[in-house]
Structure 1
């Protein structure tokens, strides 16, 4: 007897085949060795650049304020002249690494200006800076800090190279060779050997900059193994940069203690910024590190943000070993050193967790607003080039003030949904309408940014399954994304909307016998009223 495939399995296969049109990347557990890497596919995709350009040209905020910040930075001028070195030294006698850091910032800022404005002079400046360094640089050296230079400037350089891929006159092959022979060996050496020290001797940010550089170089060079190396270390590495060690303790209130919190807040923020970079680059390759281990990174970032906003946080005594023999050390409270710094690291985090995912992240949101619009290298002091910055310009997605989705609903805000023809009856978590109002966060549609998805306080998405409405946790599949995405159509009352399924066009969410269903549209007054809901604060 032949078993016939179910309608659901056939639909899932069809949707998977058509998933290439999805706005957000697929979220496989690990990157398939057969999967093609996406370009540009590090911190910014082409869709990101298109959004930046459109919003800046329209004068929309906060993109325009971010653009003005970029233009005002002296390193973004098209007249920039690089100062390449044959040997970069960080730590010890003859340190000169800031010279590299400044030129990398200038190359990035000019690359951004070219991608957004189209001005060739800025593209030429970015290209010439990269070409000058790839022609000159032979080594990164110094004391142990050489690993920091290879990590931080490694991931930054790879990002600029990725942006400039295909630009006339850019020597991509020579640039790749530099990244593979000068930067990657130090990144790899550190993660595998930790400078011959105890595995816990080095703080989280040392691992994280090396991981970010390896992942970025892997994408730039179309090297799946390197991307996989960084992802594997994030999930299962032994050093302090791996997620379970970077956030070693969880606390009530959705907080995760950051590994460097007892050290000082400047390095805690550095680590948060580096992990944000790593997660965003992975996300743009279809790998969800942001959500790994039940959003553990989000909890760590919320913890650091809350404490640096001046609030108190719980602290579990942190013990570790130092030096080559793992001499025991411990910390008993969060350090106040460097507390409250305004580093340009928060926009990417808020726009992922709060806007892209629609989760409640009040401390990330507050910090993102506090430092907006973020500047970049050169805006935060003479030697502060750890972050590329300009997050308001590059990472801001649709919000309530900017519109979003299909235009009928704001995104990045929370609303209840009241039935138009049954006043005081609201969409509920049970898949019914009733007197208890359920607050839902409105986010751009998971499979179509012109549509909408709706998320409850537990992070579950409103979706249809077998034509009934329910709430489920995101499983990362293309089918789930389409089941949770709806196009908004005008409802029967002013300000009301009807929600049409993306993967079942012509079917709308409606209530029937108080149960929420996905029913085929009928040309009747009753159906139109049953399928109309009024969003309200």
Structure 2
């Protein structure tokens, strides 16, 4: 082969490799704001329902406003370095950061619904305190901690910045720098070999931050990672005899896959990678899947049709056992229930907007309304998403 033809062949291979490595563009040509998790149209609907005293929104609003996270006397507790080990041991600022972030989001919702500027000011003071202080997350749980806090920070900042709340340009810029330099680098690359709730929440946070920053590259990377992680987290029989595995995880053999799925060998529609670990961590994954899809929808990219079968099966499958069904042979006959306040968003999208029958999920959602907060990253989903057509 001549040098010219060899060079041409090499270039062709490089082009193919780059196409496989670089995710397809997903970011919108123009970002929509507010557009992280909730939109102005959704919140206008909520505000009208709350002011009319309609249920379940009025009850959900009262639940939120009576919570300590909505207290106007709250004082933030920022730290320069947040250190979180396994299960937050040690816990050096972990709880404080997560709860301050959820509090900022809570205040932002309260501001939007009440138009009481005190709530906007409190949200701003919390975010300003942290952006002036934090520099790093350390120890083994650093990626997960960063993701948990990052999801709430992005929601709060997006609402406050784009609803006339009075956040100064200097405050906005400093907070944006914090998200860009302290949070995004810790989470954007994911953690393929960890339990799936980690990477799903990391992508939820990355996407929200990308929208706030209008960072198209980060947006595209988050969507690309999400599209491979969801099929590796929720099983469908169409996947074959064994579940899909996260790219780059090194989980390749049958024995490795079964260990990764916490010993389960009876793969059925809706089983999640962490089902046999416990339903609580599974709920984290389900929450982040639905929340991620909400944000892309607000940005003009409806990803729900891609994930609807996995999400509806996962929600319905776990709802059956939360409602009391015996596990039978599932997880060797022992399951740890406790899905948490995580179903409202996915249920509203699939059953409400898309018209998919979800009887078990409906029973569980309606039984548990209003859904509050898990004090990690999921909060007030009945208020924002129950029967919300927007």
Instruction: Provide TM-score, normalisation by structure 2.
Output: 0.79
* Alpha-carbon RMSD: 2.4
In 1, the alpha carbon distance for the partners of 2:180 and 2:335 equals: 39
**1:88 aligns to what SS in structure 2?**
strand
Q: Which one of the candidate residues 67, 72, 76 is aligned to 2:70?
A: 76
User: CA deviation digits over 1:422-469, x for unaligned, max 9?
Assistant: xxxxxxxxxxxxxxxxxxxxxx6xxxx7xxxxxxxxxxxxxxxxxxxx
Cα shift at 1:275: 1.5
Q: For residues 84 and 275 of structure 1, do their structure 2 counterparts lie closer, same or farther at Cα, with a shift above 3 Å needed?
A: same
Listed as ranges, the gaps of 5+ residues in structure 2 are 1-22, 239-267
Cα shift at 1:347: 1.3
Q: Which one of the candidate residues 378, 386, 404 is aligned to 2:376?
A: 386
Q: Counterpart in 2 of 1:97?
A: 94
Aligned pair 1:360/2:347, yes or no? no
Cα shift at 1:260: 0.7
In 1, the alpha carbon distance for the partners of 2:329 and 2:272 equals: 10
Cα shift at 1:107: 0.9
Q: Counterpart in 1 of 2:317?
A: 303
Q: For residues 294 and 271 of structure 1, do their structure 2 counterparts lie closer, same or farther at Cα, with a shift above 3 Å needed?
A: closer
**Equivalent pair of 1:263/1:335 in contact (CA under 8 Å):** no
Aligned pair 1:245/2:232, yes or no? yes
In 1, the alpha carbon distance for the partners of 2:237 and 2:354 equals: 21
Q: Counterpart in 2 of 1:66?
A: 60
Q: Counterpart in 2 of 1:272?
A: 286
Aligned pair 1:205/2:197, yes or no? yes
User: CA deviation digits over 1:400-423, x for unaligned, max 9?
Assistant: xxxxxxxxxxxxxxxxxxxxxxxx
**Equivalent pair of 1:343/1:371 in contact (CA under 8 Å):** no
In 2, the alpha carbon distance for the partners of 1:230 and 1:137 equals: 24
**Equivalent pair of 1:250/1:257 in contact (CA under 8 Å):** no
Cα shift at 1:270: 1.7
Cα shift at 1:333: 4.0
Q: For residues 168 and 370 of structure 1, do their structure 2 counterparts lie closer, same or farther at Cα, with a shift above 3 Å needed?
A: same
In 2, the alpha carbon distance for the partners of 1:247 and 1:145 equals: 23
Cα shift at 1:359: 0.9
Q: For residues 162 and 294 of structure 1, do their structure 2 counterparts lie closer, same or farther at Cα, with a shift above 3 Å needed?
A: closer
In 2, the alpha carbon distance for the partners of 1:34 and 1:99 equals: 34
Would you say how many aligned residue pairs link Structure 1 and Structure 2?
333
Cα shift at 1:59: 0.8
In 1, the alpha carbon distance for the partners of 2:307 and 2:157 equals: 32
Q: Counterpart in 1 of 2:343?
A: 346
In 1, the alpha carbon distance for the partners of 2:295 and 2:68 equals: 27
In 2, the alpha carbon distance for the partners of 1:34 and 1:53 equals: 28
Cα shift at 1:141: 1.0
User: CA deviation digits over 1:51-88, x for unaligned, max 9?
Assistant: 11111111111111111101111220222221111111
In 1, the alpha carbon distance for the partners of 2:27 and 2:354 equals: 27
Aligned pair 1:155/2:156, yes or no? no
**1:256 aligns to what SS in structure 2?**
coil
In 1, the alpha carbon distance for the partners of 2:333 and 2:39 equals: 37
**1:107 aligns to what SS in structure 2?**
helix
Aligned pair 1:287/2:279, yes or no? no
After TM superposition, the structure 1 = structure 2 runs for residues 126-165 of structure 1, keeping only pairs within 5 Å, are 126-142=123-139, 144-165=140-161
**1:89 aligns to what SS in structure 2?**
strand
In 2, the alpha carbon distance for the partners of 1:99 and 1:33 equals: 33
Cα shift at 1:291: 2.1
**Equivalent pair of 1:264/1:335 in contact (CA under 8 Å):** no
Q: Counterpart in 1 of 2:118?
A: 121
**Equivalent pair of 1:306/1:363 in contact (CA under 8 Å):** yes
Q: Counterpart in 1 of 2:105?
A: 108
Cα shift at 1:123: 0.7
Listed as ranges, the gaps of 5+ residues in structure 1 are 1-28, 237-241, 317-331, 377-383, 399-443, 450-537
Q: Counterpart in 1 of 2:209?
A: 217
Q: For residues 289 and 301 of structure 1, do their structure 2 counterparts lie closer, same or farther at Cα, with a shift above 3 Å needed?
A: farther
**Equivalent pair of 1:247/1:257 in contact (CA under 8 Å):** yes
User: CA deviation digits over 1:3-40, x for unaligned, max 9?
Assistant: xxxxxxxxxxxxxxxxxxxxxxxxxx975556111100
After TM superposition, the structure 1 = structure 2 runs for residues 288-437 of structure 1, keeping only pairs within 5 Å, are 288-293=302-307, 295-312=309-326, 333=332, 335-337=334-336, 339=337, 341=338, 343-376=340-373, 384-397=374-387
Which one has a bigger Cα radius of gyration?
A: 1
Cα shift at 1:147: 1.0
In 2, the alpha carbon distance for the partners of 1:260 and 1:210 equals: 16
Cα shift at 1:315: 7.3
Q: Counterpart in 1 of 2:184?
A: 184
- Which structure: greater strand fraction? 1
**2:38 aligns to what SS in structure 1?**
coil
Q: For residues 286 and 31 of structure 1, do their structure 2 counterparts lie closer, same or farther at Cα, with a shift above 3 Å needed?
A: farther
